[in-house]
Amino acid sequence: MGTGFTEESNQVDWYESNLRCPIDYSGLIYRGKRLVSENGTEYPIVDGIPVMLRPDVKQTIDLANASLARSRRDNDKIDQRFKDLHLESLGISKEEKESLVELYNSNYLGVDAVVSYLVGATSGHMYKDQIGQLSEYPIPELRIQSPNENDRFFLDVGCSWGRWSIAAAQKGFTVVGIDPSLGALLAARRVATQLELDIRFVCADARFLPLRNQIFDVVYSYSVLQHFSKVDVVNSLVHINRVLKPGGESLIQMPNSFGVRSLQHQLRRGFRQPKQFEVRYWKPKELLREFERNVGTSELSVDCFFGLGLQASDKHLMTRPKRFLIEISEVLRTRSERSLWLSNLADSVYVRSEKTCYL
């Protein structure tokens, strides 16, 4: 994969060496802002981002359709305000888009305006009062050891505006981030540039990773697979397995159906089957079974209690009651390392897997 992504002369080589057609995983040839597969399928490169989404399958989220429309230059579906922001693919409300444009027009040079309006969607309910108000980028702590010289290639599945990609790059990994939202990816690239980090971004679907086999040492995903149907989760795990090196590691955040807040949400829904992009809750034994079948040897650890997405590194951004919840969550998380039964009550867990299955 090389050691860096900044040299433009290496860009085409990187595309052809590492990207693959998400339909049949054949190689790609660069032909003037397009990547063409051996079967003749073309994938446009939009504003420097390869759009590797499959148009022949139902998307997991509608913003992926917006990214496809942009790649086809379907002007009827493109938000004409500040076209370079790709507002139609951000998955936020009309009112939020209007406020985002107003913030962007103010020439505020601190936090990227798109990130300021995506933070609620990416970070969870505790961050709702930060929407449009961010004073800094909430970059979380990545619970993975810094890489050694030979184990440094990191894939962030569903990276959105890039918070975990940035956390990985700051830790020394060479990072690729994928997401179905062109607007979020362009924001991620702007933030990475602002922070002087070298990260590659690709518009893609977790179920059909457009990447060659066995190139990543770590595959990471947070607040993404929890929205997929269980069939789509398994499909994603198969592809995570495919792109991991032998002995590589995946670390995937998932919601625990027995968590206190998780149970509240399920009760509010009447324990009905989830629809569209709603969160799917998993039993711990289910998680271990599917990850061990499709990736390899797996174990669970606690991410947080009292909801999904609480990060101790963001505590200073929170109101006092929210800081208190985060502090309690951290105490319980630490205790869960010694009292394993506590992990069964966590709302959000990590599944850490070592690739030992070869499908």
> What is the reported pLDDT for 112?
94
Instruction: Report CA dihedral (226, 228, 229, 231) to the nearest 10 degrees.
Output: -100
> What is the reported pLDDT for 83?
81
Report the amino acid identity of residue 139: I
pLDDT tens digits along 203-248? 999 999 999 999 999 999 999 999 999 999 999 999 999 999 999 9
> What is the reported pLDDT for 238?
97
> What is the reported pLDDT for 6?
43
> What is the reported pLDDT for 1?
52
> What is the reported pLDDT for 8?
52
> What is the reported pLDDT for 336?
93
> What is the reported pLDDT for 61?
93
User: Do 121 and 127 form a contact (C-beta atoms < 8 A)?
Assistant: no
- CATH code given to domain 153-354: 3.40.50.150
Beta strand extents in 111-257 (DSSP E only): 153-157, 174-179, 199-203, 216-221, 244-255
> What is the reported pLDDT for 339?
87
The whole-model pTM stands at: 0.94
Report the amino acid identity of residue 88: E
> What is the reported pLDDT for 256?
96
Residues of the chain with pLDDT under 50: 2-7
